[in-house]
Chains A and B, each alone.
Chain A
Amino acid sequence: MMANHTRHILSIRQRLLLAATLVLGAFLGLTGLSLDKAFRSSTEEALNARLLSSVYALLAAAEEGHEGQLKMPDVLTDPRFNRPDSGLYAQVNLYPEGYRWHSGSALGQALSFSKYIAPGESESGRFKMPDREVMGLNFGVVWEDFNGRELKYVLSVAEDLEPIQEQIGTFRDTLFLWLGGAAVLLLLVQGWVLSWGLSPLREVEEALTEIESGRSDKLKGRYPKELNRLTSNINSLIQHAQARQQRYRDSLGDLAHSLKTPLAILQGIADRPGEYPHQTVCDQVVRMNQIVSHQLQRAAASGRHVLTQSIAVEPLVERLMKSLDKVYLDKGIQWHISVEPESHFFGDEGDLMELLGNLMENSCKYGKRQVAVTVTAAKSLYFCIEDDGDGIPDNQIQTVFQRGHRVDTRQPGQGIGMAVAADIVSAYGGQIEIGTSSTFGGAAVHVRFPEN
């Protein structure tokens, strides 16, 4: 128990909120990352395409020198090539050596990434320049002069990354602002959904507090169907507990009251010794014993309620039969047991055992040799216990049920089995009847329980 206390147990609300937050965070985070990546790669691709078209523009602008070699004009059509530090730079180099040209914009800073590559190939990437980062492209071409020499040029263009990075930064800021906003909003909605969804549970909790404090005696109000079974079971448990408490109280009261008369008689005997026969004391002791046993049994019968498991009847009848066989060995009881398969009793095992034990023992005790137990479970559970004894006369049927109940009944030497059986049956809302067995001629006790 102590170990459980030290470990903190999260409430359902905390669990749901925690899980929702984690899922939402992961989802929004991944969304942000993938959007960011997609935006960056599309921007870079667009830049690459622009660089390639700049290369084509350079080639288009190239002129022929006096020997037919490549010669770039001083001024290009795109003003950005001409304005120093414009962000767009171009350079043309002849390899292995010779002609070197750079655009006006690249004044004072050679495009250091430029290197020889085979004609017809191109190569692009991010490059560091002394004071900036650029996206650069090298493009190899071959140029034939008038003498038929093949001259290998590399055209290099570069564009400043700064404007693009600014663009990406702005996009990122906007993206995370929106996503963050959405996350906060969704969490708020989630919190509200949770408290709305869990509100019936909170109501149950409050209702239970009401019951605990004694202001209420059951869970009132209507609950969603997922909780209906729980709340109705709690209600029936409460009712059951109250009924049991009431029964205990009644039994205690009955017990005290019914013991008073024999006690008064014994008191009288104690006050005037020698005036009463010994038998009177014995009678009173028997009577008190009956009262006590009866009230004990009655208080213990747990009665019917919804949360009981089902008890298979057949094995129980079997066990009782074997036990009684031992006790009544001399009689050599002949049993006629017929229990419908799958007969189940919904209630306490002890109650069923007490009921059948008392009835079956009565038959063993008062019957001559034949005892029959029939159980059917067609619609409701039905027991019939018969024997071949003398039976119970009609005028005594009431008294066997009442034995031990009332203050003025006393039948020394006779058991209270039938009265106990009747109490158990009535605790389950069933019926018990005494008749005559048509097969064996003795008593027949019929017990019928209500349908489930």
Chain B
Amino acid sequence: MRVLLVEDEAEIREPLATRLADHGYTVDSAEDGAEGLFLGREYGIDVGIVDIGLPKMSGIELISELRKLDKNFPILILTARGNWQDKVEGLEAGADDYLVKPFHVEELLARLNALLRRSGGWSQPVLSGGPVSLDTRTQTVSINDEPVELTAYEYKVLEYMMLHAGEVVSKSELTEHIYDQDWDRDSNTIEVFVRRLRKKLDPDEHYKPIETLRGRGYRFALERNL
């Protein structure tokens, strides 16, 4: 999952970026609104964390601009003052949730998780399709309640596909949302991850959870269990 972090204070931004990366997020961080807008426009962001009080372009302006550009990824605003005027303005500009500073990183992670899930149309933290279920809180996967061991990248690929279950996800989209840098962009690696996932999730080729659509990408094909 690619997260856009826009926060002007380096003491908050840098440790937070590290913590997010530890939790499997690909982090694009910006220290002002203009840079935030650039990153939000250029990259396939899954979720945004935006501080309200930013230099160059306020957080509220940044959110409005992103929404004008049809960037509809969920956004969480951070506010130091914690007053309702700020919160309501931010939410009205297009944000989806807010968090008052100072906050616990665990709280932030839980909120991001919920936002991502919501944007994929899931109302529960456990994404489940057919016999496959993926717990976004513990980052664990099980088949018919039997745990399955996945590497970090395998988990990321599956999580992304399950969040968008039923939709076609291209290889380049997967690469963009999973890797930090361009040098990793080799569609062969994605093919390798998908092949390994298929082997681990469905060794008997019984459920066929991941469908390949030639020239277009992949699709998590199992029916969502809501």
Q: Is A406 an interface residue (CB 8 A)?
A: no
Given A289-B102, A326-B96, A327-B97, also A320-B84 (CB < 8 A):
yes
Q: Is A323 an interface residue (CB 8 A)?
A: yes
How would you classify the secondary structure of chain B's contact residues: helix, strand, loop or mixed?
Answer: mixed
B42-50, B86-94, B145-153, B158-166: which one contacts chain A? B86-94
Beta-carbon nearest neighbor of A282 in chain B:
B104
Q: Across the interface, do B83 and A354 meet the contact criterion of CB distance under 8 Å? A: yes
Question: Chain A: interface residue count, which band?
Answer: 20 to 34
Contact of B88 among A297, A300, A320 (CB under 8 A): A320
A418-434 vs B, Cβ < 8 Å mask (1 yes, 0 no): 00000000000000000
Chain A neighbourhood of B83, CB < 8 A: 297, 300, 350, 353-354
Contact of A330 among B87, B91, B123 (CB under 8 A): B123
Cα distance A293–B100 when bound, in Å?
10
Q: Across the interface, do B84 and A327 meet the contact criterion of CB distance under 8 Å? A: no
B62-101 vs A, Cβ < 8 Å mask (1 yes, 0 no): 0000000000000000000111110110011001111010
Q: Is A319 an interface residue (CB 8 A)?
A: yes
Q: Is B114 an interface residue (CB 8 A)?
A: yes
Q: Across the interface, do B88 and A353 meet the contact criterion of CB distance under 8 Å? A: yes
Given A293-B82, A354-B83, also A323-B96 (CB < 8 A):
no
Q: Across the interface, do A350 and B82 meet the contact criterion of CB distance under 8 Å? A: no
CB distance from B73 to the nearest CB of A (A): 14
Cα distance A433–B91 when bound, in Å?
30
CB distance from A445 to the nearest CB of B (A): 16
Q: Across the interface, do A329 and B118 meet the contact criterion of CB distance under 8 Å? A: yes
Chain A neighbourhood of B118, CB < 8 A: 329-330
Q: Is A367 an interface residue (CB 8 A)?
A: no
CB distance from B12 to the nearest CB of A (A): 15
Q: Across the interface, do A319 and B92 meet the contact criterion of CB distance under 8 Å? A: yes
Chain B neighbourhood of A296, CB < 8 A: 81
Cα distance A224–B72 when bound, in Å?
62
Beta-carbon nearest neighbor of A360 in chain B:
B84
CB under 8 Å from chain B, chain A span 289-339: 289, 293, 296-297, 300, 319-320, 322-323, 326-327, 329-330
Q: Across the interface, do A353 and B84 meet the contact criterion of CB distance under 8 Å? A: yes
Q: Across the interface, do A353 and B97 meet the contact criterion of CB distance under 8 Å? A: no
Q: Is A136 an interface residue (CB 8 A)?
A: no
Chain A neighbourhood of B102, CB < 8 A: 285, 289
CB under 8 Å from chain B, chain A span 325-376: 326-327, 329-330, 349-350, 353-354, 356-358
Cα distance A356–B83 when bound, in Å?
11
Q: Across the interface, do B82 and A327 meet the contact criterion of CB distance under 8 Å? A: no
CB distance from B110 to the nearest CB of A (A): 12
Beta-carbon nearest neighbor of B97 in chain A:
A327
Q: Across the interface, do B91 and A326 meet the contact criterion of CB distance under 8 Å? A: yes
Chain B neighbourhood of A293, CB < 8 A: 82, 100
Beta-carbon nearest neighbor of B117 in chain A:
A330
CB distance from B27 to the nearest CB of A (A): 24
Beta-carbon nearest neighbor of B111 in chain A:
A327
CB distance from B18 to the nearest CB of A (A): 20
CB distance from A403 to the nearest CB of B (A): 15
Q: Across the interface, do A330 and B88 meet the contact criterion of CB distance under 8 Å? A: no
Chain B neighbourhood of A285, CB < 8 A: 102
Chain A neighbourhood of B82, CB < 8 A: 293
Contact of B84 among A289, A322, A326, A357 (CB under 8 A): A357
Most buried by B among A289, A293, A323: A323
Chain A neighbourhood of B98, CB < 8 A: 327
Q: Across the interface, do A323 and B92 meet the contact criterion of CB distance under 8 Å? A: yes
CB under 8 Å from chain A, chain B span 87-140: 87-88, 91-92, 95-98, 100, 102, 114, 118, 123
Chain B neighbourhood of A349, CB < 8 A: 85
CB distance from A421 to the nearest CB of B (A): 11
Cα distance A300–B82 when bound, in Å?
12
CB distance from A313 to the nearest CB of B (A): 14
Q: Across the interface, do A354 and B84 meet the contact criterion of CB distance under 8 Å? A: yes
Cα distance A358–B123 when bound, in Å?
25
- Other A-B pairs, 18, CB within 8 Å; known A293-B82, A322-B92: A285-B102, A296-B81, A320-B84, A322-B91, A323-B87, A326-B91, A326-B97, A327-B98, A329-B96, A330-B123, A349-B85, A350-B85, A353-B85, A353-B88, A354-B84, A356-B84, A357-B87, A357-B88
Closest 7 CB pairs of A and B: A357-B84, A323-B91, A353-B84, A323-B88, A327-B97, A326-B91, A354-B84
* CB pairs A–B below 8 angstroms (26 shown): A285-B102, A293-B100, A296-B81, A297-B83, A319-B88, A322-B91, A322-B92, A323-B87, A323-B88, A323-B92, A326-B91, A326-B95, A326-B96, A326-B97, A327-B96, A329-B96, A330-B114, A350-B83, A350-B84, A353-B83, A353-B84, A353-B85, A353-B88, A354-B83, A356-B84, A357-B87
Q: Interface of B with A (CB < 8 Å)?
A: 81-85, 87-88, 91-92, 95-98, 100, 102, 114, 118, 123
